[in-house]
Chain A
Amino acid sequence: MSTELSTGMPAIAIVLWIANVLVDSGGQLAFKAAAGDPDAGAGVARWKWMLARRWIWVGIACYVAEFVLWLSFLSLVPLSEGVLLGSINIVAIMIAGRYWFAEKLTRLRVAGMVLISIGVAVVGLQ
């Protein structure tokens, strides 16, 4: 955020970008929690079960927030840059999945995350 980190992006765009990553990760985790509930059953009963519980609504709320955040972010940065910077969501969600759902981080996944992070840094700091 300081002058050493001259990203060329206005500070508000950086705030929107970080907020988007956080809200998107939170939303995906919430959907995973809703969809992965082992007690949910199947078919229509499963949907009733999910809709009566908190997680799916947390996910939907995150979607709505994200919609506004992404639109605002794109008001401030070029689209070609925006979609590249948005790739960091993949990394954030994989790390979150590792902590919350004990998903495996295989070598290829770690390699992919590192490459995407480097790519985003190159685009963001150019």
Chain B
Amino acid sequence: MRRFYLLGFLALMAFDTLAQISFKYAATQALPLEFSADWLLRVFGQPWIYGAFVGYIGAFFAWMTLLQHAPIGPAFAASHLELVSVMLLSVYLFDERIGPWQVVGALTIIAGIVCLALGEAELGGEAGDSVPPAPAHGTSSRTHADGHAH
């Protein structure tokens, strides 16, 4: 069972990370940003946007599979761990700089997510009070919330 959790959470994190990295690549390659058909053609005309789809779908199934066994509290926290992996990969892949304030902000957000996870664990199983584990950002989390709602 430990192996199930470990692999499950790693898979979830990997798919979420893939989605975000793909989004960034797709956004960068479709530059300049403009609200036009041309921009949409540039977005869908290169492979990265499909990496984002794969990431979404994979994360959805990983999440649904995990929730068969995993307690919701730790699962909630783990489903946001991609914050860490995405930040580290942003430095490596996109040469982004992470300043001291960003580190402080990230640690505070992670502390908040841990509180929410503990809160979920505490309430665990109370029907009708499940807050959807919202995505770390708009898009990736929807799959979680959707999965959670069912």
| A residues neighboring B (CB under 8 Å) | 20-21, 23-24, 27-28, 31-32, 35-36, 63, 66-67, 69-72, 74-76, 78-87, 89-90, 92-94, 97, 103-104, 106-109, 111-123, 126
Is chain B's interface secondary structure helix, strand, loop, or mixed overall? helix
Cross-chain pairs A/B with CB under 8 angstroms, 17 sampled: A24-B141, A31-B145, A66-B142, A74-B24, A87-B83, A87-B109, A89-B134, A108-B115, A108-B116, A108-B119, A111-B112, A112-B112, A113-B116, A119-B107, A120-B105, A122-B105, A123-B101
Contact residues in B for A70 (Cβ distance below 8 Å): 23, 137-139
| B25-42 interface (Cβ within 8 A of A) | 26-28, 30-33, 35
**Docked pose: A66 CA to B142 CA in angstroms:** 10
Q: Are B137 and A82 in contact (CB under 8 A)?
A: yes
B109 to chain A, nearest CB (A): 3
Contact residues in A for B104 (Cβ distance below 8 Å): 119, 122
Q: A79-B20, A87-B109 are in contact. Are A28 and B139 (CB under 8 A)?
A: no
**Docked pose: A92 CA to B131 CA in angstroms:** 11
Number of B residues contacting the other chain (C-beta, 8 Å)? 60
**Docked pose: A121 CA to B101 CA in angstroms:** 10
A37 to chain B, nearest CB (A): 11
B91 at the interface (CB under 8 A from A): yes
**Docked pose: A120 CA to B83 CA in angstroms:** 13
Q: Are A71 and B23 in contact (CB under 8 A)?
A: yes
Contact residues in A for B141 (Cβ distance below 8 Å): 24, 89-90
**Docked pose: A97 CA to B130 CA in angstroms:** 9
Q: Beyond A24-B135, A74-B23: 13 further Cβ-contacts under 8 Å?
A: A27-B142, A31-B142, A71-B23, A72-B33, A76-B33, A78-B96, A79-B20, A85-B137, A89-B134, A90-B80, A112-B116, A119-B107, A119-B109
Contact with A along B116-146 (1 / 0, CB 8 A): 1011001100001111101111110110011
